[in-house]
Structures are given as C-alpha cells and as structure tokens.
C-alpha cells in the first residue's frame, strides 16, 4: 500500500502545519485546498436522515448529531467521538452526511496538537476525504 504523503490544507491550516516541528513536517507535501462550498444545516439534516448505518454506536451518535444546534456543536461531538473500530463504509457514509464543515473543524483542532506521524496521517486522511466531498458537493449541489 502506498503511503499518503499529501495534505490538502486551506491557507489557514497550512499555517498551523508550518508551525509544527520540522521533523513532523518532513515527508509531507501540502496541496492548497481552494474549493469552497457553503453547506446548509438543511442539507446536512437531509443527508443525515437518509444514511443507513449498521454500527449501533454510530447510530446513537447520528441521533446526537441530528439534535445538535449547529455545525460547531456537530464538530465538537465528532472530535470527542472515538472513531476507532468503526466500520469503514459506515464512517464514509457518516462523513458524507456531516459534510465538509465538521471535517475542517476537526483538522483545525487536530493539527496544532499533532505530535506523531500517525497524527499527521490522520489529518491527511481527513483532508483527503474533505477534498473528495468538496468535489462531489460542488458538482451535485450547484
């Protein structure tokens, strides 16, 4: 399996990445994320209501998200939720439903706290998912 070495970061996130120790930055290429998409709470609620998840933990989480007041609360819920041991297909559906805002918030929360290569790999994975979602949403909603 080939290693992901690209981080798709916004200008603001790139600043956060550049502030990390150089040994953490080694081997990573930052690709600027320039795609913009204005999601709406209505779009998010609609997507959340249509996804079907197998994982009971995720279904409980989905209910919490449905009742969240706004995107900020959603991002906080996600950053506190343990995504380990969650089935990949369910995770993909969840990220699709939540949209790009919460992913951006998680990246902004996670990047400054990164201390290991694994942390950066997680950010890279999230940034890749966000990149793909942005492309898909821009094509489907405009």
Euclidean distance between CA atoms 122 and 82, whole angstroms: 13
pLDDT of residue 3: 56
- Residue 75: C-alpha distances to residues 5, 78, 134, 142 (Å): 25, 5, 17, 24
Give me the residue spans of the domains in the chain. 6-141
Residue 29 backbone phi and psi in degrees, to 5: -115, 125
pLDDT of residue 71: 73
Strand partners, 32: 9
pLDDT of residue 2: 47
pTM summary value: 0.83
Half-sphere exposure of 110 (CA within 13 A, CB side): 24
pLDDT in tens, the chain (142 residues): 445 799 999 999 999 999 999 999 999 999 999 999 998 888 888 998 899 999 888 888 888 888 888 777 887 787 777 777 788 888 889 889 989 988 898 899 889 999 999 889 989 989 999 999 999 999 888 6
């Amino acid at each position: 399996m080939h290693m992901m070495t690209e981080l798709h970061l916004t200008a603001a996130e790139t600043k956060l990445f550049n502030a990390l120790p150089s040994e953490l930055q080694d081997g990573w290429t930052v690709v600027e994320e320039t795609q913009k998409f204005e999601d709406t709470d209505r779009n998010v609620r609609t997507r959340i209501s249509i996804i079907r998840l197998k994982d009971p933990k995720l279904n409980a989480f989905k209910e919490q998200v449905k009742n969240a007041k706004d995107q900020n609360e959603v991002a906080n819920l996600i950053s506190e939720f343990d995504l380990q041991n969650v089935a990949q297909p369910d995770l993909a559906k969840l990220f699709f439903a939540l949209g790009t805002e919460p992913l951006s918030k998680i990246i902004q929360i996670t990047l400054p706290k990164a201390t290991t290569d694994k942390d950066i790999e997680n950010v890279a994975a999230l940034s890749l998912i966000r990149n793909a979602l942005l492309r898909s949403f821009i094509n489907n909603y405009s």
